[in-house]
Structure 1
Amino acid sequence: MKVLKRIGKILIVFLLLVACLYGFYKVRVSTSGNLNVLIIGIDAREGESVSRSDSLMLAHVNKNHKIVDLISIPRDSYVYIPAVDREEKITHAHAYAGIEGTIETVENLFDIQIDKYVEVDFTKMIALVDTLDGIDVTPTATFCEQDENDQADSYCFTEGEKEHMDGKNALAYARHRKSDSDFARAKRQQEVIKAMVSKVKSESVVTMFNFYQDVTKISDTDFGVWDIFGYADMAFHDFELRQSVGEGEGGMFYDAYYGQNLWQYYLNDAWLENTKILLQE
């Protein structure tokens, strides 16, 4: 049983560390001991064949220092998109060139290599959170949000009041941005990730394996056993989970390509340079 429990923690805790939110992911163990995993959240409607990315996160795992940096990139960040050879909102990269176009754009933005990626529909997190019998989150803002069927104001949250959220509540909390900003939503998504990591580390081996099975059912993966063991020791030591969101300034700016003013978010040069340095550590 001790061996089984150890394997369970290796499989499940490590998965949450490097990809978090909403699904399983593809990972390659790098020789440097560092790993960059791009998490692409989509919110495509039924019948849509092309969609923009609705959420972008970069998980940088530094095995040697036992640190996981989770970096959210605001969807309206105005950056260079190689696939179309011009600057546009980073969310458009996925619509133009899919996963590969998004990866190429993020690699160009940070001057790094993306080792692996995960692309998951927002709604998939419902099943994952429910497998854990919910998560505990203390809302950082007061608001109401529509449900998974677009029914308005179905879920309401109060700032500072701890709440045990099932999958549907967690989804509503993580996707809300109408009352504040994309920046604030990115922070909420990270709160959900952190709660999931905390919960899964404390669960029984049975729950861990149930979670693992749900993850594999809703995801496409080439994550092998040896990849897992490459970073497995992190599951049994204290590690630091550092969270950040791309700093910058948003507003209405003229876009020459579209010939009109559009809402755009310009990442702060200092933040961008500091993040590049962090990703080289």
Structure 2
Amino acid sequence: MSKSDKGKWRSPLWARLCAIIGCVLMVTGGGALVATQVAVARYAGAVDSKDLFGNAAAGATKTSSTIKGPLNILLVGIDPRDANTAPLSDSIIVVHIPKDLNQAQIFSIPRDLRVEIPAFEKTGFQGGTAKINAAMSYGSSVGNGKHDVAQGFELLAKTVSQLTGIKKFDAGAILNFNGFKDIVEAMDGVTMTIDQNVKSEHLQPNGKPRPRRPECADNSCDHPYIGPQKTYKKGTYHLEAWEALDYVRQRYGLPRSDYDRQRHQQQFIKAMAEQALSKNVVTNPIKLDQILRAAGDALIFDGNGHNIIDWALALRGARDMTLVKLPGKSLFEGKQYIGEGLDESAGGFFESVGDDSISTFLIDHPAFLQEL
């Protein structure tokens, strides 16, 4: 791979969105979109649509022709929690689509990044400095001890906008990791390359949860689990669904912690998309239907008045994707770890997002290209 191709790989953008926001699109062996009236009604309707940005646009009706670049999409992955528990964003991903709609640039925001979270009138949150993954929690309360993940997304979106300078997001999605597990199971697992030895903080070698230390029942411990650990060794393997999802969740014990995990998640996205395009998936209507139905349970989507099929059609010409890494470092108060901070150079990258010049920025700053 040439230097200019680092972090870039080719396949239809909607197929990568298939991996990112739930495999809700129909494909043929050649990779073209099939959008019959039945398919549109079935799969667009299967996705849970909510107002994620506080603008009541989720239920509006628009035509796909009005989706024009440049575009910014905010994707948030969460572990499933009930309405009595405040949600935390485990993964935060921004997809930028340039004006010509022929490519996409994707970058992850560290979940432990210390940022200014703006005030939020709906919950009475006064604003303050905290790790960015807490924004959903601060924005989710709806009273009586209940929480709404869609309302929490609204405050997270405002926080990411303030951080990056992105004035508004054109679409957003909340991804349930348990739903992703169902998608990977429908695909009979996923083949991917593991680039470093990783021990699971959460699971035993047989896939069962590791026992929790009694003194850590209140989630106050950094390492609350004991007992044998599932180990993932360097090399290329076909992983079962539970293995793949467990692997991409890990950050403890890794040299670059959450930055390594971000890379592994991007590698997982790539592997999922490539497998979704393989002939044993796209030419098998039974398997494809299983994947698409599983995707409907994994996703809450707000296309600002456009359903997910509209988005697929609008972006069907996009074929290049570039994966971007943001440089950062751990922050301490004395010896106490308080979160992550971005390098000053990230400001220049965010400016390139705002003026739709990421490709030019990456030519001048190749260190931002993700190694895959």
User: Into which bin does the TM-score normalised by the smaller protein fall?
Assistant: 0.7 to 0.9
Tell me which residue corresponds to 2:310. 226
Tell me which residue corresponds to 1:3. none
Tell me which residue corresponds to 2:320. 240
Residue 276, structure 1, aligned to residue 348, structure 2: no
2:157 corresponds to which of 103, 120, 126: 103
Displacement of 1:249 after TM fit?
A: 1.3
The structure-2 alpha-carbon separation of the partners of 1:269 and 1:20, relative to structure 1 and needing over 3 Å to count, comes to farther
Tell me which residue corresponds to 1:7. none
Question: What do the CA deviations read for 1:225-252 (whole angstroms, capped 9, x no partner)?
Answer: 4333111233xxxx22211232111132
Contact 1:19–1:59 (Cα < 8 Å) also in 2: no
Residue 36, structure 1, aligned to residue 72, structure 2: yes
Task: Name stretches of at least 5 consecutive residues in structure 2 with no aligned partner.
Answer: 1-11, 25-46, 50-57, 120-125, 140-151, 211-226, 357-372
1:175 corresponds to which of 242, 249, 252: 249
The structure-2 alpha-carbon separation of the partners of 1:244 and 1:14, relative to structure 1 and needing over 3 Å to count, comes to closer
2:282 corresponds to which of 199, 204, 207: 204
Three-state SS of the structure 2 residue aligned to 1:114 is coil
Q: Identity, % of aligned pairs? A: 22
- CA distance in 2 between counterparts of 1:75 and 1:45 reads 17
Contact 2:103–2:320 (Cα < 8 Å) also in 1: yes
1:88 corresponds to which of 127, 130, 149: 130
Question: What do the CA deviations read for 1:233-280 (whole angstroms, capped 9, x no partner)?
Answer: 33xxxx2221123211113237xxxxx944221111212322331353
- CA distance in 2 between counterparts of 1:153 and 1:48 reads 31
Question: What do the CA deviations read for 1:52-102 (whole angstroms, capped 9, x no partner)?
Answer: 211111112236262221111001111111134322211111110111000
Contact 1:22–1:128 (Cα < 8 Å) also in 2: no
- CA distance in 2 between counterparts of 1:19 and 1:225 reads 11
Aligned residue pairs total 260
Tell which deviates more after alignment, 239-248 or 222-231.
Answer: 222-231
Three-state SS of the structure 2 residue aligned to 1:133 is coil
Three-state SS of the structure 2 residue aligned to 1:172 is helix
Tell me which residue corresponds to 1:150. 209
Aligned CA RMSD, in angstroms, stands at 2.8
Three-state SS of the structure 1 residue aligned to 2:194 is coil
Three-state SS of the structure 2 residue aligned to 1:51 is coil
The structure-2 alpha-carbon separation of the partners of 1:212 and 1:173, relative to structure 1 and needing over 3 Å to count, comes to same
The structure-2 alpha-carbon separation of the partners of 1:195 and 1:153, relative to structure 1 and needing over 3 Å to count, comes to farther
- CA distance in 2 between counterparts of 1:62 and 1:211 reads 29
The structure-2 alpha-carbon separation of the partners of 1:103 and 1:16, relative to structure 1 and needing over 3 Å to count, comes to farther
Tell me which residue corresponds to 1:257. none
Tell me which residue corresponds to 1:192. 268
The structure-2 alpha-carbon separation of the partners of 1:153 and 1:63, relative to structure 1 and needing over 3 Å to count, comes to farther
Contact 1:74–1:245 (Cα < 8 Å) also in 2: no
Residue 264, structure 1, aligned to residue 339, structure 2: yes
Contact 1:18–1:59 (Cα < 8 Å) also in 2: no
Give the structure-2-normalised TM-score.
0.63
